[in-house]
Amino acid sequence: MIYADNAATTKPSRAALDAMIPCLEGQYGNPSSLYTLGQQAREALEDARARIAKNLNATPREITFTSGGSEADNQALRSAAAIGARKGKKHIISTKFEHHAILHTLQALEKEGFTVTLLDVHTNGIVTAAEVETAITPETCLVTVMYANNEIGTIQPVAEIGAVCHRHGVLFHTDAVQAAGHLPIDVQAQNIDLLSLSAHKFHGPKGVGVLYAKKTIPLTNLIYGGAQERGKRAGTENLPAVLGMAAALDDACAHLAANTATVTLLRDTLIAGLSAIPHGELNGDATHRLPGNVSFCFEGIEGESLLLLLDQKGICASSGSACTSGSLDPSHVLLAIGRPHEVAHGSLRLTLCEENTPREVEEIIESVRQVVSYLRGMSPVWRDLQEGRKNYVIQ
């Protein structure tokens, strides 16, 4: 099997498993208990918090553990919205190609009286700081723009966007779920007030994440109960997962440069190989993209069929995001960068990590070539294109 769907989830690393297993076996104490077993759990929890903070250039008290990226996104937006509402500022700026954890929270906030501006994304999959600045009004309380897109991998100028926000007294949140462990993060240098990350996107366990919030920003609870996480997120801490996350992030940050070099090379080989397929095109900017992300549209085929046939060849890939596969709507991300519906349907996302090999990349290229030409051979749309009854969108 070739695993090439690292944007959907990653294989837990040895470091993550080694950190989790003792905690699932002997060291199962509750961090709120007063006896030694509990206090050892508390120490491990706070040590993990400090290490995660250090990797982001934050302080431990600015780190809140959540059940993952979705919860962190929800809590970030609701907290900033509550602060805005108290000042009578109820306008939020975001983009059309955010993750649904952002877009659906914004829809909920609209029903509660907030106004939301969703910025267009350029065909290269990048939003500029100048466009964010133009959209800011005296009512704006929050700008939320993702660090790197989960489908097309494009990287946004977060430091510049953050600087614009701060010039106008607006809070800046970034969904850094795809970036954490893969791109450098420095919340201070990059002018970030709120940031979300999720462990299972950088070789940690599922169901655990972080909301970073600058210490001056009060959080709004989504979950009420005990006093865990300074009263801002009730529930007994998921200690094994938190320890796995801290170990995975330490590991990813320590090897960031080496992993980036390895994965970028694999990515660019894969992009070059797939670019040779006619009437197909890379989605998003070729250089300002995540080291492991390869996203293509191929005319005249359905992404779903492509995935099923690749699966038969032992290749795990994706079209659009994992959350929307299963629905027949084309990806909102591909539509946002201007792909027409019929082209967006023919999308393929391959996301690599440092464990993939050049040999696997060659095998993927060969398999995609075969499958695309097989599917085109059966496609009435492809016949129309070939026989001139329809025009190609991608030359």
Ligand X SMILES: *Cc1c(COP(=O)(O)O)cnc(C)c1O
What are residue 195's DSSP bridge partners? Answer: 174, 212
Q: 374: part of which helix (H) or strand (E)?
A: helix 358-378
Residue 323 catalytic?
A: yes
Closest to ligand X by CB, 206 or 390:
206
φ/ψ of 297, rounded to 5, equals -115, 135
Nearest to 288 by CA among 146, 142, 126, 164: 126
Structure tokens at 261: 């070099």
Non-local (6+) Cβ contacts of 388 within 8 A are: none
Shortest Å, Cβ 68 to ligand X:
3
φ/ψ of 376, rounded to 5, equals -65, -35
Shortest Å, Cβ 162 to ligand X:
18
Shortest Å, Cβ 198 to ligand X:
3
Q: 363: part of which helix (H) or strand (E)?
A: helix 358-378
Active-site residue (options: 141, 297, 323, 353): 323
Q: 210: part of which helix (H) or strand (E)?
A: strand 209-213
Query: Considering just the CA atoms, what is the radius of gyration of the chain in Å?
Result: 22
Shortest Å, Cβ 139 to ligand X:
26
Q: How far is CA 313 from the centre of its chain?
A: 27
Closest to ligand X by CB, 196 or 259:
196
Closest to ligand X by CB, 75 or 191:
75
Q: What is the Cα–Cα distance from 209 to 76, expressed in whole angstroms?
A: 12
Closest to ligand X by CB, 73 or 133:
73
Shortest Å, Cβ 103 to ligand X:
10
Nearest to 333 by CA among 85, 149, 203: 149
In the complex, the residues that contact ligand X under the rule CB under 6 A are 68-70, 73, 99, 101, 146, 150, 175, 177-178, 198, 201, 209
Report helix, strand or coil for 141.
strand
Closest to ligand X by CB, 310 or 333:
333
Closest to ligand X by CB, 99 or 339:
99
Q: At what angle do helices 358-378 and 303-312 cross, to 10 degrees?
A: 130
Structure tokens at 33: 């208990």
Report helix, strand or coil for 228.
coil
Shortest Å, Cβ 69 to ligand X:
2
Non-local (6+) Cβ contacts of 369 within 8 A are: 276, 277
Shortest Å, Cβ 323 to ligand X:
8
List of long-range contacts for 23-26, beta carbons under 8 Å, 24+ apart: 23/239, 23/240, 23/243, 24/240
Closest to ligand X by CB, 176 or 385:
176
Of all residues in this chain, which one has the CB nearest to ligand X in the complex?
69
Residues recognised as catalytic: 323
